[in-house]
Structure 1
Amino acid sequence: MCAGKMHAGEPDIDASLVNRAIAAQFPQWAGLPVEPVGSVGTSNAMYRLGADMVVRFPRTAGVANDVDKEHAWLPRLAPSLPVAVPVPLVKGKPTEGYPWPWSVYHWLDGENPAPGHLADPGLLAKDLAEFVTALHGIDPASGPLSYRGEPLEARDASTRSAIAELRGIVDAEAATAVWDAALKAPVWAGSPVWIHADLQPGNLLVAQGRLSAVIDFGCMGLGDPAVDLIVAWYVLPACVRDAFRDAVGADDATWARGRGWALSIALPELTYYRDTNPVMAAIARHVIHELLADPGRAV
């Protein structure tokens, strides 16, 4: 089943709403079976529509604001990427009981990777590096700023606040040391590049151990390439991180900022989802543990 409500003001979204919206706006698909997608995603409620489509209803106004961006840019980015990404079919309008735009996409097969239980971490690291490199190499002309396009130092207050709130749950001193080291790293001096900005397990699909698709591009846009390095701690085990780093060509400063980005995302996730999404909270705990246990490569 879809995860329950996680955000203040989140509307009631269920299969009945999806059926009514489809019948009213896209009658050619009326009568197709609608089934909730088992997902712990926090941005969209998803429902399988027939055999080869998926309906995504944003859970918050902020996520709804990304619908137009995804429809405009995903078809342009897809041909340059080495794995499948969501292809929007139609955009729905607000409907009775639901105030925002929504989307129907092609369905993509695959399963979310389970950190600690990867079939072949080395191959997955290679696949992820190829995706990240390809995405960062796409012409950034006219691209929008990423949701996570700010400099890392802009996240200082929220990160330290999360560390303080989680004292006793995480090692506050060790987390602060990782964060301080990230802030000391030189800032990105190059031009902003295309980034996904949320390469977490729930936004990746694997088939037979290989990366088959990258989904949920709501955070995408232009920013520091270090943001996409979060996947090194969110998904990959320590034994393949150096190989991933070498494959993406991350220098010391970019790698340090990547660690900082991962920490600055995982800490607030743990504080926000502790009581509403235990799977997301467990992922955040895993990331924090990996970051605090990883001293980084000797240079």
Structure 2
Amino acid sequence: MHADQVDVTTDIVAALIREQFPRWSGETIRRVSSTGTVNAIFRIGNDLSARFPLRLADASEALAVLEQEARASAELALVSRFPVPEPVALGKPGAGYPMPWSVQTWLPGTVASDADPSGSDAFAEDLAAFIAALRDAGTRGRVFSGDNRGGVLAHHDDWMAKCFAESEGLLDVDRLRQVWSHFRELPRTGADVMSHSDLIPGNVLVEGDRLSGVLDTGGFGAADPALDLVSAWHLLRPGPREVLRRRLACDDLEWERGKAWAFEQAVGLVWYYVETNPAMSSLGRRTLDRLLESTQ
């Protein structure tokens, strides 16, 4: 999926576990099929999962990221009303893999991309309850500090210009430019709140038509209150989407900003993964369709 991607195999994972965590060396190692774009995931026995960053980075810098993600995941676990993975251990480079890696608890369930809950009001209620619990946790004085989604919309102009250039022939770029020209001007009024930051179908577990768990919690941090509203567009159809909006008491501006963050993410998904990860590219298209229908 990435030009700088690192190959990770079951044999490499088994060797790393034998060397660094021999207490798990008797467990079965299985690669987990996933549309994820950041980590290769391997199951260790029935209760653990190992996550290996896919993109090559300086080992010390990668370790700092994993340590921060572990702290964020542990903090989110204390406030979530739904099961989330909890950090267990950090591994070191070795056995042909050049970077540190992490071990978490394994959560059973089906990802929402495989069991579509988009028409369920009950799922929308659960999702809103999850987001509300994170917001209620309080930032303890922290503010957004990063270059990803969650800060100032207009700071993404360069990225969006690249996306529009790469999307020629794939999408109606003229219309997308017009939509972004509106979104980028939306003012920010609310203070930062604690946010999951990536509520897409692959990070949400369902059982029946209910939320049963949330994955990829290492991005938990302070951000625009509208950021987690991307879930309304990635995960829900119009009826349940309104359920989530009412439950979170979103005013018009916050709702529009949620659309803007979902738009920024979706446009990038379409072209970047069109050949290497068709499922993610399709997610981007579906989310864009929902957003454009809502702006007509």
Instruction: Provide TM-score, normalisation by structure 2.
Output: 0.91
Query: Could you tell which deviates more after superposition, 132-141 or 216-225?
Result: 216-225
Name the CA distance, whole Å, in 2 between partners of 1:63 and 1:36. 22
Q: Which residue among 18, 31, 37 is the counterpart of 1:23?
A: 18
Contact 2:190–2:225 (CA<8 Å) still a contact in 1? no
Please show how residues 131-150 of structure 1 align to structure 2 within 5 Å.
131-141=130-140, 143=142, 145=145, 147-150=148-151
CA distance in 1, matches of 2:68, 2:294: 36
- For 1:78, the equivalent position in structure 2 comes to 77
Measured in 1, the distance between the counterparts of 2:62 and 2:228 equals: 20
The one-letter code sitting in structure 1 at the alignment partner of 2:18 is: A
1:180 and 2:178 aligned = no
Change (3 A) 1:116 1:56: closer
Query: Contact 1:178–1:259 (CA<8 Å) still a contact in 2?
Result: no
SS at match of 1:89: strand
Which structure 2 residues correspond to residues 235-250 of structure 1 after superposition, within 5 A?
235-250=235-250
Between 162-171 and 69-78, report the one with greater CA deviation: 162-171
User: How far apart are the structure 2 equivalents of 1:51 and 1:116?
Assistant: 21
Instruction: Kindly indicate whether the alpha-carbon contact (under 8 Å) linking 1:46 and 1:54 is maintained by their aligned counterparts in 2.
Output: yes
1:1-299 residue pairs with structure 2 within 5 A? Answer: 6-60=1-55, 61=57, 65-114=64-113, 117-118=116-117, 121-141=120-140, 143=142, 145=145, 147-187=148-188, 189-295=189-295
- Aligned mates of 1:111, 1:199 — CA distance in 2: 15
Residue type of the alignment partner of 1:40: T
Change over 3 Å in CA distance of 1:129–1:119 after alignment to 2: closer
Unaligned 5+ runs, structure 2: none
> CA offsets per residue over residues 236-262 of structure 1, 9 Å max, x none?
012222221111121111111111111
Superposition deviation, residue 173 in structure 1: 3.2
CA positional deviation for 1:279: 0.8
- Matched residue type, 2:149: R
Whether the 8 Å contact between 1:194 and 1:220 is mirrored in structure 2 is yes
Q: Which residue identity does 2:294 align to in structure 1?
A: D
Partners of 1:9 and 1:223 lie apart in 2 by 29
Question: 2:72–2:219: 8 Å Cα contact kept in structure 1?
Answer: no
* Cα displacement (A) at 1:113: 1.3
RMSD (CA atoms)? 2.0
- Match in the other structure for 1:3: none
Q: Is the 8 A contact 2:117 2:206 kept in 1?
A: no
Answer with 146-155 or 39-48: which moved more. Answer: 146-155
Give the CA deviation at 1:167. 3.1
The TM-score with structure 1 as length reference comes to 0.90
Please list every run of 5 or more consecutive structure 1 residues that lacks an aligned counterpart in the other structure. Answer: 1-5
Structure 1 position 65, deviation (Å): 4.8
